[in-house]
Amino acid sequence: MKLSIIIPAYNEADRIVGTLTRTLAYLERQDYPSEVVVVSDGSTDETRKVAGSFRAKDKVVITALEYHPNRGKGYAVRYGMLRGSGDVIMFMDADYSVPIEAVENGLALIREGFDVAIASRALSGSVVTRHQNFLRELSARLYTAIQNFHLGIRYPDTQCGFKIFTAAAARNLFAQQKLDSVIFDPEILWLAKQNGFKVAQFPVVWRHAENSRIQYDSLKKSLFVFQELFRIKKLHRRE
């Protein structure tokens, strides 16, 4: 097995150092080959340069990609996922909110025959070591309830940025993806249901990272999330 890890990043020159240091150290201890692909989503800092300065050992390859202008997290993830060369392709957040060791639970599910394995903070066994503020958690629960009803899916947490796919599932689903925004996760899970892929969930240890690059600090931004959600079916029906 070869594992590809895609890390979307926007102005993460500071935090990407710790994330790559710990991720590469973990991968270098494994007995399978792997690659890490950092996708700088139109960053205005030195994210690509910092990521490109890392050198891996033995069976690990690291690549730093960049394009301009900034297109959104969904675009960055799709850009990387369609370029991963592994038998298993995953993405994780640049802020390292989920430790790389969580991949072991996801890979076990892939080996059992699932096509997709997603980390969920809402499952029994998950541990949240630092929470988001109360209002953000409350609004997230409200959004999830509306999202699941509208899309006909049943996931208590679609937004945790740690998801693992077989290569076949990744290429199929991300080639169909339409949204460039952060709401690409439920779109991918809805597409997985539409295409008959088997999806499993696994618990994780998760820690809220301060200074998130994705902020919902205004009514306009909050409404945008729902506008994107309600575009999903329309976009695919039109196609």
pLDDT in tens, 129-187: 876 655 666 678 889 999 999 999 999 999 999 999 999 999 999 999 999 999 999 99
Classify strands 162-166 and 88-92 as parallel, antiparallel or unpaired: antiparallel
Residue 223's pLDDT is: 87
Q: Is the pLDDT of residue 220 over 80?
A: no
Residue 4's pLDDT is: 98
The DSSP line for 79-120 is HHHTT--SSEEEEE-TT-SS-GGGHHHHHHHHHHT-SEEEEE
- Which sign does the torsion angle of CA 145, 148, 152, 154 carry? negative
Beta carbons of 166 and 88 less than 8 angstroms apart: yes
pLDDT digit string, tens, across residues 58-87: 899 999 999 999 999 999 999 999 999 999
The structural domains of the chain, ordered by start, are 3-238 (3.90.550.10)
Q: How many CA atoms lie within 13 A of 34 on its CB side?
A: 20
Q: Is the pLDDT of residue 218 over 80?
A: no
The DSSP line for 171-214 is HHHHHH----STTHHHHHHHHHHHTT--EEEEE-EEEPPSS-SS
pLDDT digit string, tens, across residues 197-214: 999 999 999 888 766 555
Distance CA 165, CA 3 (A): 10
Confidence of residue 221 (pLDDT cuts 50, 70, 90): confident
Residue 72's pLDDT is: 97
